[in-house]
Structure 1
Amino acid sequence: MDFTNKNILITGASRGIGKATALAFAEKGAKVGINYRNNTEEANKTLAELKGTGHSLFAYDVSKKEETKALIQDFVTQYGKLDVLVNNAGISIFHDLDEVGFEDWTYAWEQTFKTNLFAVANTSYWAAQAMMTSGGGHIVNVSSRGAFRGEPTKPAYGASKAALNAMSQSLAKKLAPYQIYVGVVAPGFTETEMAAITLTPAERENLLRESPFKRMAQPKEVAHAILFLASEGAAYSSGTIIDVNGASYLRS
């Protein structure tokens, strides 16, 4: 896969899967825009690690709809064209129905959908407007196996990712005449910096048992699937959802 002279924008790209994806695109010759909300230190560290030149930081909170328009416009103004948008930013809030109060319950739903679904819808809207006038492009959305298997301790997360899948496939059909291709990557639990900090030893053991590989996904493995869906050779795979979960959850 060669992305030389391609302009890539990745939301939530200062660490984790977003960072691995930025590194992978830069390795393939792309110019990468790193979107982040407020962690400037981590964003600058990621920027410094990218191979090549022409990469930039874009500090916007995509959960705010007015900032999604500003983000895309800023990127297009700087680079002239948006070839690939990767919607990676997302949040996950625990809200067990039998343990939380109603205010916490509704807060989790509102905040999760604001970032995991509405932000993706809004950035995709503005990206599509730009791509329709520039000959097309690719939109790749990061979902989760939780969209399929259920998330009993954070149902808003699972529901938001299921809705993201449905929206992505609807956009794949709608945008095909404009040569805009939409794909989804659905990772299982991924070994990010955040996981290393937050997981207890018992939680880690449970996660390792879920896959026959006895390990979690590495961010670069998720990035590999994202790059495939963003590549020119994957055009006819528009509408596809790629599972990257180490056979921990198999769907028919």
Structure 2
Amino acid sequence: MRLQDKVIVVTAATRGIGAAIVRACAQEGATVYIGARNMERAQNEVDEMTAAGFAVKCVYNDASKPDSYQSMIDTVVAAEGRIDGLVNNFGGTNPAEDKDLLNTSYDDFISGVDVNAGSVFLGCQAAAREMVKTGGGSIVNISSIAGSVPDISQIAYGTAKAAINHMTKSMAVQLARANIRVNAVAPGMTATDAVADNLSDEFKAFFLRHIPLGRMAEPEHIAAAVVYFLGDESAATTGQLIEVAGGFGLATPIYADAMDAAVAR
């Protein structure tokens, strides 16, 4: 029960990594609010978790509506009296628009950066203002390995995630005296329904060759890192980034070919 009696908000948490974070936090004793645009889907998750004996609720949040971040935090504080933790889980990209430098429009680039990095700024700002009043808290930003390892496409998404990494460190420094810790978790390829539905088996097999551990992370692995940052075990840790990507990007760029050659010898 590492999060006993803590009030935690997780955005975009009706499926995949977000849903796993909600479950992990609830299992550790927290009261968890699912920040969601689709309230019907969120309520279904709330009902399931409540039936299992966990304290899970939902609150409206839409990344395309900046004002909804403040209203989300205001709603939680009005109901609970405080907020102890925020997990900025929202993020995404449209591969049809977010391509490389030569094939991405300026509007699509700015839109991609705005919705990904801007949502983190807004969530952190609204939550931190309340945490200052109540003596502190913990914020965890969900970044991506794409923020550290350049790609041949998705220039807006990668730029936004790199910005989130920098914001995490900047906010950690700026909020430390208020006893507010800010850290980040950077997933790599993760075994979510979205990956299963949108990536071919051939591509997944190709990608896995470049992951030293040779497997995708499970959503629960991301959630475990988040729980660590939210709990008191990390009370002296701020401004840090944990990559949960199986070692992707650590080895030589020719890792897969080098491994094949080693096996052949």
TM-score by length of 1: 0.92
1:7 alignment partner AA: V
The one-letter code of the counterpart of 1:249 is G
Determine the structure 2 residue equivalent to 1:179: 179
Unmatched 5+ stretches in structure 2:
252-265
State the one-letter code of the partner of 1:62: A
Q: Which runs of 5+ in 1 are unaligned?
A: none
Deviation of 1:33 (Å): 0.2
Tell whether the 8 Å contact from 1:63 to 1:114 is kept in structure 2 after alignment: no
Structure 2: which amino acid aligns with 1:61?
D
Summarize deviations over 1:27-76 as a string: whole Å, max 9, x none. 111110001123x4432332233243432111221332211111110111
Q: Which residue of 2 aligns with 1:55?
A: 56
- Equivalence for 1:83: 84
Distance in 2, matches of 1:187 and 1:219, equals 9
Answer with 1 or 2: which has the greater Rg: 2
Query: Would you say how many aligned residue pairs link Structure 1 and Structure 2?
Result: 247
Q: Any idea what SS the aligned residue of 1:237 has? A: coil
Give distance in 1, aligned partners of 2:101 and 2:117: 25
Task: Give the corresponding residue for 1:164.
Answer: 164
Tell me the CA shift for residue 212 of structure 1: 2.3
- What are the equivalent positions in structure 2 for 1:20-35 lying under 5 Å apart? 20-35=20-35
Residue pairs, 1:1-252, within 5 angstroms: 2-38=2-38, 40-50=39-49, 51-94=52-95, 95-97=98-100, 100=103, 105-250=105-250
Please give the secondary structure, in 2, of the residue aligned with 1:92.
Answer: coil
> Aligned equivalents of 1:41 and 1:158: distance in 2?
31
Shift of 1:9: 0.1
Name the aligned partner's letter for residue 24 of structure 2. A
Quote the RMSD (CA, aligned, Å): 1.7
Change (3 A) 1:246 1:74: same
Secondary structure of residue in 1 paired with 2:134:
coil
Ranges of 4+ aligned residues in structure 1 off by more than 6 Å:
none
SS state at 2:32 partner = strand
Deviates more, 1:230-239 or 1:170-179: 230-239
Which residue identity does 1:54 align to in structure 2?
Answer: A
What is the deviation of 1:120? Answer: 0.7
| CA contact 2:13–2:34 (8 Å) conserved in 1 | yes
Q: Is the 8 A contact 2:11 2:61 kept in 1?
A: no
Q: How high is the sequence identity, in percent, across the aligned residues?
A: 34
**8 A contact 1:136–1:179 mirrored in 2:** yes
Query: How many Å apart are 1:202 and its aligned residue?
Result: 1.5
For 1:66, give the aligned amino acid: D
Aligned partners of 1:151 and 1:157 also within 8 Å: no
TM-score normalised by length of structure 2: 0.88
Q: Work out the CA distance in 2 between the residues paired with 1:108 and 1:45.
A: 33
**Residue identity in the other structure for 2:53:** G
Paired residues of 2:3 and 2:230 also in contact (CA < 8 A): no
Contact 1:36/1:58, CA 8 A, preserved across alignment: yes
CA deviations over 1:156-203 (Å, ceiling 9, x no partner): 111000001101100101101000000000111111111111111221
CA distance in 2, matches of 1:53, 1:246: 31
